[in-house]
Chain A
Amino acid sequence: MCLGIPGRVSAVLDEANGLVEVEVSGVRRAVDAVCVADPDAPLSALIGTWVLVHVGFAMSRIDEAEAMNTLRLLAEIGELDAEVSAMQGMETRA
């Protein structure tokens, strides 16, 4: 819950409601981008940006090296598969 997972913004889903599509380890899902969006720019400015996603909300913009290091960490502590499965709506944790 507290580690989050890095993903890359791939599309704008709903400009008015601050929703973007983020690709995380090959999985695409809707993510709320309100906390990382520049209020003076369209959401499309985020496309291609790496973000740290916590429970469906992008909470921080990060660079690609940071994203890779965090993905590696998640894999090594055994959290990556669980997180990605959970994002897809699969029940893996209970």
Chain B
Amino acid sequence: MNGTLRFIDEFRDPALAENLFAEIAVTAARIAAGRDRPVTIMEVCGGHTHTIFRYALEARMPETIQFAHGPGCPVCVLPRGRVDDAIAIARHKEVIFTTFGDAMRVPGAQGSLIQARAAGADIRLVYSPLDALALAKANPDREVVFFALGFETTMPSTALTILRAARSNIKNFSLLCHHITIIPTLRALLEQPDFPVDGFIGPGHVAMVIGTRPFQFLPEEFGQPLVVSGFEPLDILQSLLMVLRQIETGKPQVENQYRRVVPEDGNKAAMAAVAEVYETRPECEWRGLGTIAESGVRLAPAWEVYDAEKRFDLTLHQAPDPEGCRCNDVLVGRIRPWDCAAFGTICTPENPLGALMVSSEGACAAYYQYQGMKRAG
């Protein structure tokens, strides 16, 4: 515990942090008495994972608590076949393929977008789908495709961009859509046998869009507590304590620690745009989790003209996860990253094999970056 004081000083309100840590330890000890395993709490969102590692929250936890770092990093769970689809489209010589920078390094079965760009494809990083649309307007003789990634947080942005394209009559623009939804995915996780999670820290910015009600099935059907949380370390500590108190009292419910940003009903304008532009896919593939029913969206028939899959007559690539990956076991907290033989050997942030090593929000990459290999073995 070298430098505890200095560590605590990193918090915006060190005294509050100290109190929360103490209260968490006491509550977890009461819950853990008589149990043969630690209380396991899953943070769903990759942003939370990042904060947990940056502030070493996990390292500061008593042994009675462990985190399971959930599936909420959209770049991490992008399957290999989808990267191959993106590259296939980007190789068309009339195409300007646009993407968020995070997706550039994700390995497909046939390399990454960054490698495709080096090989001559016109692939450009953009900050916003609006920038991709502006590129389309400025280059009427080219086809601009935007790689639409992310959970419910970014889904409204691409839906609104399609509505804007239609209003502006911009026709040389389309989406390669791989938006994914967290609710069916949480359900799929909970339906796994031997799922060792006792409660959830819920994704704050997904809830900002969809509200808190869609999470009600966790307490109602699975007896699981969920607390929608903000992203500051103090938010996460407070949310963790709220989850623990629910576990202790045996009254699971959905609580909202992030009221300052998350309305119970979400954002109606954002949801209306999503409902207008998208429809649920029968199934969607996830790196590390396999295929999950109704866990993604595609453009609704009325907007098919903006669907790159249709425009380029794409046959979707299927590429199974590489051999030796145990991302699924890490995701649900069955094993820790360093229990996977690939971790730090054939799977590193420079050459990621599995989902969780792909982005800094992935659990394995975070362990690798912040704790190195010191916990291995």
Given A35-B267, A77-B50: A60 and B114 within 8 A (CB)?
Answer: no
Restricting to B98-117, which residues have a CB under 8 Å from any CB of A?
100-102, 104-105, 114
Q: Which residues of A contact B72 (CB under 8 A)?
A: 2
**B1-25 interface mask toward A, CB cutoff 8 Å, 1 = contact, 0 = none?**
0000000001010000000000000
A54 contacts partner chain B, Cβ-Cβ < 8 Å: yes
B151 contacts partner chain A, Cβ-Cβ < 8 Å: yes
Restricting to A16-58, which residues have a CB under 8 Å from any CB of B?
17, 30, 32, 34-35, 37, 52, 54-57
Cβ of A92 and Cβ of B101 under 8 Å apart?
yes
B129 contacts partner chain A, Cβ-Cβ < 8 Å: yes
Q: Select which of B101, B203, B267, B270 is within 8 A of A93 by beta carbon.
A: B101
User: What separation, in Å, do the CA atoms of A32 and B189 have in the docked complex?
Assistant: 35
Cβ of B153 and Cβ of A70 under 8 Å apart?
no
Q: Which residues of A contact B47 (CB under 8 A)?
A: 2-3
Cβ of A87 and Cβ of B153 under 8 Å apart?
no
Cβ of A59 and Cβ of B232 under 8 Å apart?
no
Cβ of A1 and Cβ of B74 under 8 Å apart?
yes
Cβ of A59 and Cβ of B270 under 8 Å apart?
yes
User: What separation, in Å, do the CA atoms of A34 and B160 have in the docked complex?
Assistant: 9
Q: Which residues of A contact B160 (CB under 8 A)?
A: 32, 34-35, 57
Given A32-B160, A73-B232: A2 and B150 within 8 A (CB)?
Answer: yes
B265 contacts partner chain A, Cβ-Cβ < 8 Å: no
Indicate the member of A34, A87, A92 with the most B CB atoms within 10 Å.
A34
Q: Which residues of B contact A17 (CB under 8 A)?
A: 164, 167
Indicate the member of A1, A35, A52 with the most B CB atoms within 10 Å.
A1
Cβ of B10 and Cβ of A55 under 8 Å apart?
no
Interface size on B, residues (CB 8 A): 48
Cβ of B74 and Cβ of A59 under 8 Å apart?
no
A4 contacts partner chain B, Cβ-Cβ < 8 Å: yes
Q: Select which of B114, B157, B269 is within 8 A of A54 by beta carbon.
A: B157
A interface SS class: loop
Q: Which residues of B contact A3 (CB under 8 A)?
A: 47, 205, 231
B213 contacts partner chain A, Cβ-Cβ < 8 Å: no
Cβ of B104 and Cβ of A4 under 8 Å apart?
no
Interface size on A, residues (CB 8 A): 35
Task: Tell me the smallest distance from the CB of A48 to a CB of chain B, in Å.
Answer: 18
Task: Tell me the smallest distance from the CB of A63 to a CB of chain B, in Å.
Answer: 7
Q: Select which of A2, A52, A92 is within 8 A of B151 by beta carbon.
A: A2
Q: Select which of A1, A4, A62, A77 is within 8 A of B54 by beta carbon.
A: A77
Q: Select which of A55, A70, A93 is within 8 A of B104 by beta carbon.
A: A93
Given A54-B205, A86-B127: A94 and B51 within 8 A (CB)?
Answer: no
Restricting to A55-86, which residues have a CB under 8 Å from any CB of B?
55-57, 59-60, 62-63, 66, 69-70, 72-73, 76-79, 86
Q: Select which of B10, B149, B164 is within 8 A of A76 by beta carbon.
A: B10
User: What separation, in Å, do the CA atoms of A30 and B129 have in the docked complex?
Assistant: 12
Cβ of A94 and Cβ of B267 under 8 Å apart?
no
B154 contacts partner chain A, Cβ-Cβ < 8 Å: yes
Task: Tell me the smallest distance from the CB of B169 to a CB of chain A, in Å.
Answer: 13
Cβ of A55 and Cβ of B51 under 8 Å apart?
no
User: What separation, in Å, do the CA atoms of A79 and B231 have in the docked complex?
Assistant: 13
Cβ of A89 and Cβ of B131 under 8 Å apart?
yes
B260 contacts partner chain A, Cβ-Cβ < 8 Å: yes
Cβ of A2 and Cβ of B205 under 8 Å apart?
yes
Q: Select which of A37, A52, A59 is within 8 A of B156 by beta carbon.
A: A59
User: What separation, in Å, do the CA atoms of A32 and B54 have in the docked complex?
Assistant: 31
Task: Tell me the smallest distance from the CB of A90 to a CB of chain B, in Å.
Answer: 9
| Beyond A35-B156, A89-B131, 18 extra complex contacts between A and B, CB < 8 Å | A1-B74, A1-B102, A2-B150, A2-B361, A4-B153, A4-B205, A35-B267, A35-B270, A54-B154, A55-B150, A55-B157, A56-B130, A59-B209, A60-B208, A62-B261, A77-B54, A91-B125, A94-B105
Q: Can you list 8 A-B pairs with a CB-CB distance of less than 8 A?
A: A1-B150, A1-B154, A2-B45, A2-B203, A34-B269, A35-B270, A55-B100, A78-B54
